[in-house]
């Protein structure tokens, strides 16, 4: 059994706009997906997971040539999850040069599925890495990030940025603008997550923003403004001491930009009542700023608060299912024992 793990992430700034070539700054967090892979003697694939924040499911399918996947649980999220695994394994087969390779795959994840914390990217990154290593080969993080991006893009109907997959493969804070991907320095920020227990369908939400842009040409200005505020946020992070305390001024300034970013995402139609409610709960507690993270439609918000007030307020907020503090994950994909 060969096991790899990869972290989830939050977006400090820039989701959705990054799909249109604007910059985004996601940051990996210490919540991981672990994927174990055992090569099979035949060309079949068996995937087991009882830990994707959904009911347990077991999927068996016949390998690359089969068109039909036998998925027991009639949930579009489970189908999306198996779609991501399927595409990840296609990439792994391509990387090892064996289009018929079969695998037994076990997935465990403590990242809520579809909740905006990069669960699919983490599963895809860890699955490709584990499948390639289980086949006796190695893969460099840059190639892994690129293959994971190809897999995500296919599942999302060709509309994905490199942000989630690059961040999960590399760890730390990163900057993505089109094909330009690089790690950046950032201080440890006091990130508080609120999770409404729900999920959004990334493909649908991304398509919704495209439809809005097509119907109202001026929505492009909203996307560009997200790009501008992301550049501003990057400058703030670049000026901070990466090993020091971020300090109250930086937290206020970053928080203001996060609030601004949330408002613009809301204008693009990707927020939801529960995300807005959690954002306001966080702001009315002690957060210096709060925004949805990821595709939206339900799932998680990220807030900045050094103290306990935001977590306490979210704990008692009716729309919030879970709240936790997220630590920056400096390590991206890694081999597990
Ligand atoms: C989803 O986590 C982030 C989006 O920007 C889509 C993408 O970048 O592929 C909404």
CATH number at residue 208: 3.30.70.890
Q: How far is the CA of 28 from the centre of ligand 1 (A)?
A: 14
In this predicted structure, what is the pLDDT of residue 3? 98
**Sign of torsion over alpha carbons 325, 329, 335, 337:** negative
Q: Are 101 and 44 in contact (CB under 8 A)?
A: no
E strand or H helix that includes residue 325:
strand 322-326
Same domain, 253 and 275: yes
Q: Per-residue pLDDT for 83 more than 90?
A: no
Same domain, 180 and 230: no
Beta-bridged to residue 65, according to DSSP, are: none
Q: Are 50 and 258 in contact (CB under 8 A)?
A: no
Q: How far is the CA of 273 from the centre of ligand 1 (A)?
A: 20
Same domain, 24 and 96: yes
pLDDT in tens, 190-210: 999 999 999 888 889 999 999
What is the average pLDDT score of the chain?
90
Among 134, 149, 184, the domain-final residue is: 184
Question: Among candidates 75, 17, 308, 56, which has minimal Cα distance to 198?
Answer: 75
Same domain, 33 and 8: yes
Three-class secondary structure of residue 328 per DSSP: strand
Same domain, 229 and 254: yes
Same domain, 132 and 224: no
Same domain, 41 and 122: yes
Same domain, 259 and 147: no
Q: Return the axis-axis angle of helices 119-134 and 163-170, rounded to nearest 10°.
A: 60
Q: Scanning the structure block, which residue is given the tokens 């695994």?
A: 85
Find the catalytic residue in 86, 129, 164, 286: 164
User: Which is higher by pLDDT, 61 or 212?
Assistant: 212
Q: How confident is the model at residue 67 (pLDDT cuts 50, 70, 90)?
A: very low
In a domain? residue 335: no
Q: How confident is the model at residue 59 (pLDDT cuts 50, 70, 90)?
A: very low
Q: Count structural domains, the chain.
A: 2
Q: How far is the CA of 315 from the centre of ligand 1 (A)?
A: 27
306/171 Cα distance (integer angstroms)? 22
Return the ∠ at Cα 253 (arms to 248 and 257), rounded to 5°.
145
Same domain, 220 and 95: no
The residue whose CA has the least distance to atom 8 of ligand 1 is: 161
Mean pLDDT for the stretch of residues 276-282: 98
CA of residue 87 relative to chain centroid, distance: 16
205/200 Cα distance (integer angstroms)? 7
| CATH code where residue 136 lies | 3.30.230.10
Q: Which two tokens stand for residue 122?
A: 């983490």
The residue whose CA has the least distance to atom 2 of ligand 1 is: 294
Among 135, 160, 184, the domain-final residue is: 184
Residues 148-180: b if buried by 16+ CB within 10 A, e if exposed: bbbbbbbbbeebbbbbbbbbbbbbbbbbbbeee
In a domain? residue 334: no
Report the residue among 115, 161, 227 best suited for mutation to probe ligand 1: largest number of ligand atoms under 8 A from its CB. Answer: 161
Question: Measured from the CA of 160, which atom of ligand 1 is nearest?
Answer: 9
pLDDT in tens, 282-322: 999 999 999 999 999 999 999 999 999 999 999 999 889 99
Residue 283 backbone zone (phi > 0: left; psi -120 to 50: alpha; other: beta): alpha
In a domain? residue 336: no
Among 133, 165, 184, the domain-final residue is: 184
Same domain, 142 and 229: no
Three-class secondary structure of residue 45 per DSSP: strand
Q: What ipTM describes this predicted complex? A: 0.99
**Percent of the chain having pLDDT more than 90?**
79
For ligand 1, residues with CB inside 6 Å are 15-16, 18-19, 160-161, 163-164, 202, 206, 294-295
129/125 Cα distance (integer angstroms)? 6
Report the residue among 9, 18, 80, 207 best suited for mutation to probe ligand 1: largest number of ligand atoms under 8 A from its CB. Answer: 18
Strands 180-184 vs 45-49: parallel, antiparallel or unpaired = unpaired
Same domain, 217 and 300: yes
Same domain, 171 and 26: yes
Domain that holds residue 169: 2-184
């Amino acid at each position: 059994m060969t096991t790899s793990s990869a972290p989830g992430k939050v977006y400090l700034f820039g989701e959705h706009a990054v799909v249109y070539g604007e910059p985004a700054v996601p940051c990996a967090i210490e919540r991981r997906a672990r994927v174990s892979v055992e090569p099979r003697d035949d060309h079949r694939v068996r995937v087991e997971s009882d830990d994707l924040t959904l009911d347990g499911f077991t999927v068996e399918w016949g390998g690359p040539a089969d068109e039909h996947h036998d998925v027991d649980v009639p949930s579009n999220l489970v189908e999306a999850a198996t779609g991501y695994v399927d595409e990840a394994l296609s990439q792994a087969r391509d990387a090892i040069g064996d289009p018929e390779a079969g695998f037994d795959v076990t997935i465990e994840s403590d990242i809520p599925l579809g909740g905006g914390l990069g669960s699919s990217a983490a599963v895809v990154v860890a699955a490709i890495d584990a499948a390639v290593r289980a086949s006796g080969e190695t893969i460099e993080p840059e190639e892994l990030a690129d293959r994971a991006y190809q897999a995500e893009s296919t599942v999302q109907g060709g509309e994905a940025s490199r942000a989630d997959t690059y961040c999960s493969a590399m760890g730390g804070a990163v900057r993505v603008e089109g094909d330009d991907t690089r790690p950046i320095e950032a201080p440890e920020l006091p990130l508080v997550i609120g999770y409404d227990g729900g999920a959004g369908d990334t493909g649908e939400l991304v398509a919704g923003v495209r439809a809005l842009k097509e119907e109202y040409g001026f929505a492009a200005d909203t996307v560009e403004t997200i790009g501008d505020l992301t550049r501003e946020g990057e400058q703030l992070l670049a000026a901070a001491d990466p090993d020091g305390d971020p300090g109250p001024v930086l937290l206020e300034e970053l928080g203001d930009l996060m609030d601004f970013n949330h408002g613009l995402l809301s204008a693009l139609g990707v927020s939801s009542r529960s995300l807005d409610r959690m954002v306001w709960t966080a702001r009315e507690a002690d957060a210096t700023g709060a925004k949805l993270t990821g595709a939206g439609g339900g799932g998680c918000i990220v807030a900045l608060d050094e103290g306990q007030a935001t977590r306490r307020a979210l704990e008692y907020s009716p729309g919030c299912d879970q709240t936790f503090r997220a630590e920056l994950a400096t390590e991206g994909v890694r081999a597990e024992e």
